[in-house]
Structure 1
Amino acid sequence: MSLHRHHSNRDATIQDAAFDGGLGSIPRHKLPQRTSDAHAALEFVRDELMLDGNARQNLATFVTTWMEPQAVELIQESLEKNIIDKDEYPQSAEIERRCVNILANLWHAPEPTGGADAVGCSTTGSSEAAMLAGMALKWRWRARRAAAGLDATKPNLVMGANVQVCWEKFARYWDVEARLIPLDGATHLTPAQAAAACDENTIGVVAVLGSTFDGSYEPVAQIAAALDALAASTGLDVPLHVDAASGGFIAPFLDQDLLWDFRLDRVKSINSSGHKYGLVYPGVGWVLWRSAEDLPEDLIFSVDYLGGSMPTFALNFSRPAAQVIAQYYTLVRYGFEGYRSIQQRSRDIAGAIAKGVADLGLFTLLSRGEELPVLAFSVSAPNGWSVYDLSHELRSFGWIVPAYPMPEGMAEIDVLRVVVRNGFTFDLAGMFLADLGKSVERLNGKVPDKVAFHH
């Protein structure tokens, strides 16, 4: 028998077990009994994923949807590394340490005494980072109350109704009252609102540097000043946390004179998302504290590290090192000027889209991409269709543009939001505006005209 015609029993079993391609044989709720051919399994799953949206046309997400091939190669080479296993992967641990110190420098953290490292760690994302920061606020407040012999059973956290849902999760999971302040004439928390909501049970105030609703910065410096005044007049010393999930990788490069970070003494911790404007694929966030005393020792655990010990304070244990390594790649690859150029281009494109939207004369812009590269707009006057109808119409062109109500205090306003990220070009922006015009004309029941795009 010729060699190419011979099949072992094992090969025959695998071939016979391959899916027949019929829809009924694709497993959905039960593990299949037999092994399938690797290529067939690949194609089945790949075909399913064809129904997902095109990431380049996804104007809903803040999450990075494009990285350079070299970064992808580095991620591929690092997929098996476990960031928590610092004994087996000491250089990955060293890279995480370097990233923390680079961000501490970028966010103007005070220089640690005695040559120590900055205080912070990587996380799976900004939500985990927010949990850690919130825990530190609660632990420090509880310790202060206990030292004073006061009740510590009713903690609260002050924040605007525009915060990301992870803060509501934190409050529920860790038994903290979420004092969500309704919006009142602004799209975010105001300094007066923040100070007025604080009392002796307030563990901290959260200020958002880049709202997910419209991309606007909250006035962090003014909120800090209001809390300083509160401390001077009442003795209530309320720490400030900055949720810089997106703005932490925008403001340092485009708004260098803006005071929002550790230059403000009131700011005790900052979280940011490496997989948003940090330019890394999903799976990495960062949380930093002003100093070691702002991170309670009760939250720190030691793991073996090359015969010694290494502190860890993340919620997750085993998790990929690949995205941390990819973050280091982007920091080394782009440097300050590269990040500045990339983020400025995104902001410029967002501004151009905002101008195109305004030129249609049908919408009211709540933001124009002048802080985060994000714009939000509502329909100016009743015309028989809503932002939800327009969102649906845009989907027919492949564009994913979310429509939603604003937070409490502005909930009567429904908006569309466009997020511009690295990889989205002026050419794509022109295509989007053209399709936006066509969608409006369809909804109006008219023949679409050509929409001009000014770059």
Structure 2
Amino acid sequence: MQSMTKLNEAEAVALFGNRFLTEMAPSTAFPESGMRPLDALRLVGAELTMEGDPQRNLATFVTTWMEPEAQRIIAENLHRNFIDHAEYPISAEIEQRCVRMLADLFNAPGETTGCRTQGSSEAIMLGALSLKWKWKERRQAEKLSADRPNLVFGGDVHVVWEKFCRYFDVEPRIVPLSENKYTIGPEDVAPHLDENTIGVAAVLGTTFTGHMDDIVGINELLLEVKKQRGLDIPLHVDGASGGFVWPFLYPDSKWDFRLEQVRSINVSGHKYGLVYPGIGWLIFRETADLAKDLVFYENYLGKTDATFTLNFSTGAAMVLAQYYNFVRLGRAGYTYVMSQLQENARALATNLRESGRFEVIGDELEQLPLVAFRLAGKNNAYDESDIAWQLSAERGWMVPAYTLPPNADKVKIMRALVKETMNREQVERLTQDIADACKTLDHKGGATQTEREKAKTGTGY
């Protein structure tokens, strides 16, 4: 009987797999040679299996699912460089269509301007830079010094606001929070305003609890300051999360350009705009609110273009995907989606409250489709971080536990985002898994510090 032929390494790899089944993946030195496309695909795929399931990631605000038709648009346009308006003028036109649609959604009173950005972080940087330059223009017109700008915002903002102040030499005047007060209002802002204030930033849908600052009250304060003190201080609304929620769930709630001092708004298309990362938008009330000194003109792509971004080359795919969502869903569709998210969030909040273990925070107020909650009463055996770790370890849910900003940092809460892919059955499953995690912790006590550090938490901007 003929013996089995021994395969050489190349033949074995071709038949059964690739060499990285038994070798470490390249990670430090640049590889000397390449590999077959299939091997590279397997290698990257094997690495990603160690990550969490995006559909169970209730920590991130970022979109984790889009319709197949939208995915096709994205896949077919990944090669398209958005900034090259000479070669891709339709992509540029579609961006401006989106800007005009958002201006309409946010009730801009007339002709306006804006742009797509790489998420809300870039949009906030640009919007705040325009606040600084417009303030500088006013000061110089009055022959006053413009070397001590400050910006007022609450401790409930995303870290990008503090980044802006540090990167661009602006004094941050941060209003601290307090226990049972997790947003800011006019009484908090008033003491911080002076002739060097370039603007006030208010949040529509905070990362921490999903609520909004008292934007109406802050607007009224700024109108009074303009009347009594002659200081025209603009208001920027950080609608990164809420800009695609409030117009559909709370259409009568005034927070946008219906308020006189609101001069600019940012929103993340890759959050409740329902587009994959990363796409953001910056919209001005009117064209005069964009500082002219921040607009640059270039023609080295074959056509003279005005640019107002921190980035240059970037893909057009997510702009096209945003436009797809606008025409696919319209107001009626976005309202339907947000209403379903809100309904499931309320169901989860009710389940957690009725369990007797948890206090739900502010679900009677206008809020993003999420549930912010914490353990009810005193519990010395374990805390919210232990529950987050247990949920991740046992069932793969990523539900963050974190402390609130100063001076509310003694309060630790958990937050579960309700996503478009979460149906009612999953709401009930999550409820049961939280209950099971608590029962396990009742028996064994809290996690060790090492275990807690392994718990998956985080947010996306």
User: Same fold judged by TM-score > 0.5?
Assistant: yes
Distance 2:21 2:63 in 1: 36
**Structure 1 residue 22: Cα displacement:** 4.5
Any conservation in 2 of the 1:126–1:271 contact (CA below 8 Å)?
A: yes
Moved more, 305-314 or 376-385: 305-314
User: 1:186-237: per-residue Cα shift (whole Å, max 9, x none)?
Assistant: 1111111112211111100000000000000112111100111122222222
What letter corresponds to residue 380 of structure 1 in structure 2? A
Q: How far apart, CA to CA, are the structure 1 residues paired with 2:120 and 2:432?
A: 34
Match among 168, 177, 183 for residue 183 of structure 1: 177
RMSD of aligned Cα (Å): 1.9
Letter in 2 for 1:76: A
Residues of 2 paired with 1:365 and 1:153: CA distance? 45
2-side partners of 1:189 and 1:156: how far apart? 18
Aligned to 1:268: 263
**Partner residue, 2:109:** 110
**Residues of 2 paired with 1:320 and 1:203: CA distance?**
33
- The structure 2 residue matched to 1:122, chosen from 113, 116, 126, is 116
Q: Does residue 189 of structure 2 align to residue 194 of structure 1?
A: yes
- For 1:68, the aligned partner's letter is E
Contact 1:57 1:399 in 2 (8 A): yes
Check conservation: 2:185, 2:215, Cα contact below 8 A: no
TM-score (normalizing by structure 2): 0.90
- Map 1:404-415 onto structure 2 (within 5 A): 404-415=402-413
Task: Name the residue aligned to 2:449.
Answer: none
The corresponding residue for 1:51 is 50
When structure 1 is superposed on structure 2, of 414-423 and 131-140 the one drifting more is: 414-423
User: How many Å apart are 1:54 and its aligned residue?
Assistant: 0.6
1:380 and 2:376 are equivalent in the alignment: yes
Q: Residues 218-297 of structure 1: matches in 2 within 5 Å? A: 218-297=213-292
Residue 353 (structure 1) aligns with: 348
Query: 2: distance between equivalents of 1:92 and 1:23?
Result: 46
Cα 1:152/1:137, change in 2 over 3 Å: same
**Aligned mates of 2:251, 2:377 — CA distance in 1:** 38
CA distance in 1, matches of 2:143, 2:299: 37
**Offset of 1:24 from its aligned partner?**
3.7
Q: Which runs of 5 or more structure 2 residues have no equivalent in the other structure?
A: 1-9, 445-461
Partners of 2:360 and 2:170 in 1: how far apart? Answer: 35
Number of the residue aligned with 1:153 = 147
Q: Is the 8 A contact 1:19 1:37 kept in 2?
A: no
Partners of 1:306 and 1:253 in 2: how far apart?
A: 40
CA contact (8 A) 1:15 1:37 kept: no
Are positions 1:440 and 2:434 aligned together?
A: no
Aligned counterpart, 1:453: none
Name the % identity: 44
The residue number in structure 1 matching 2:453 is none
More displaced stretch, 195-204 vs 241-250: 195-204
Alpha-carbon distance, 1:163 to partner? 0.2
- Provide the rounded CA distance (Å) in 2 between the counterparts of 1:178 and 1:111: 32
CA distance in structure 2 between the partners assigned to 1:366 and 1:425 by the alignment: 22
Matched, 1:136 2:133: no
Aligned match of 1:21: 20
Q: Secondary structure at the match of 2:71?
A: helix
CA distance in 2, matches of 1:183, 1:44: 47
CA distance in 1 between partners of 2:73 and 2:195 (Å): 49
How far did 1:150 drift?
1.6
Displacement over 2 Å in runs of 4+: 21-25, 302-311, 367-370
The CA distance in 2 between the partners of 1:40 and 1:216, in whole Å, is 47
State which of 159, 164, 168 in structure 2 corresponds to 1:165: 159
Cα deviation, 1:248-301, whole Å, max 9, x if unaligned, reads 101111111111111111000000000000000001000011111111111112
User: Quick check: 1:40 aligned with 2:36?
Assistant: no
Alpha-carbon offset, residue 89 of structure 1: 0.6
Who is 2:448 aligned against? none
2:394 pairs with 1:400: no
What amino acid does structure 2 have at the position aligned with 1:398?
A: G
Answer with 96-105 or 139-148: which moved more: 139-148
- The answer as to whether partners of 1:125 and 1:286 remain within 8 angstroms in 2 is yes
TM-score, length of structure 1 as denominator length: 0.91
